[in-house]
Chain A
Amino acid sequence: DTGVSQDPRHKITKRGQNVTFRCDPISEHNRLYWYRQTLGQGPEFLTYFQNEAQLEKSRLLSDRFSAERPKGSFSTLEIQRTEQGDSAMYLCASSLDEGQPQHFGDGTRLSIL
């Protein structure tokens, strides 16, 4: 059983640049979640998909953030015009259904110079 896969593992970029992260969930998992985690804190919910539909976005997700899951399989998270405060670990998780355990990928660590 292949776990959740995220790419890239690390991303270093200059302030103002755009970045895109990819997440491949566990196959047959309908739900896909994005979280963000900063040092010393637990993960914070950003958004989630049920198949290809994006059904909820956190207030943390400003207009610079966009996420897609075009065919209900992999998902992308794009951050436009990155800011210093965007530096964090971006985590993707998937689950079979609501309330079922969520399994996390290895995360993408974003550093803004």
Chain B
Amino acid sequence: QKEVEQNSGPLSVPEGAIASLNCTYSDRGSQSFFWYRQYSGKSPELIMFIYSNGDKEDGRFTAQLNKASQYVSLLIRDSQPSDSATYLCAVNRGSSNTGKLIFGQGTTLQVKP
């Protein structure tokens, strides 16, 4: 079992729709959760982070965390073609005090005009 799992996709949604990206993790002690967006050939760009159970909203983005289910998700409202990218889920395991991130393999999102 991978430590952080994401469906590689591609996930295809029409412009204006809600895109839902999901991630599960295996270390129950994980404490910090991050979503990065990565365009082809570019480096990861931080878009959201969440530490507590529940929802966190920032503009069109909402991160949702459920520690009991070991599940974190990212919702993108009013999806735009410019949102087409790979979305990486990253977790800071609680058993590590280094802060190093464990990444999923990423989900490719395609927003079609």
**Which A positions have Cβ atoms within 8 angstroms of B?**
31, 33, 35, 40-45, 48, 55-56, 89, 91, 95, 97-107
A selection of 29 A-B contacts at a CB cut-off of 8 Å is A31-B99, A33-B99, A33-B100, A35-B101, A40-B8, A40-B105, A41-B105, A41-B106, A42-B88, A42-B90, A42-B105, A44-B103, A48-B99, A48-B100, A56-B98, A98-B92, A99-B32, A99-B51, A99-B92, A99-B99, A100-B99, A101-B46, A102-B99, A102-B101, A104-B36, A104-B43, A104-B44, A106-B43, A107-B43
Asked if B42 is an interface residue, CB under 8 A from chain A, the answer is yes
- Knowing A42-B90, A42-B105, A42-B106, say if A103 contacts B99 (CB, 8 Å): no
From A91, A98, A106, B99 is in contact (CB under 8 Å) with A98
- With a cutoff of 8 Å between Cβ atoms, the chain A residues found around residue B36 in the complex are 104
- With a cutoff of 8 Å between Cβ atoms, the chain A residues found around residue B104 in the complex are 42
In the docked arrangement, what's the CA distance between A28 and B104, Å? 29
CB 8 Å contact bits of B15-58 with A (1 = contact, 0 = none):
00000000000000001101010000011111001010000000
In the docked arrangement, what's the CA distance between A104 and B39, Å? 13
- Knowing A42-B90, A98-B97, A101-B34, say if A91 contacts B44 (CB, 8 Å): yes
- With a cutoff of 8 Å between Cβ atoms, the chain B residues found around residue A44 in the complex are 103
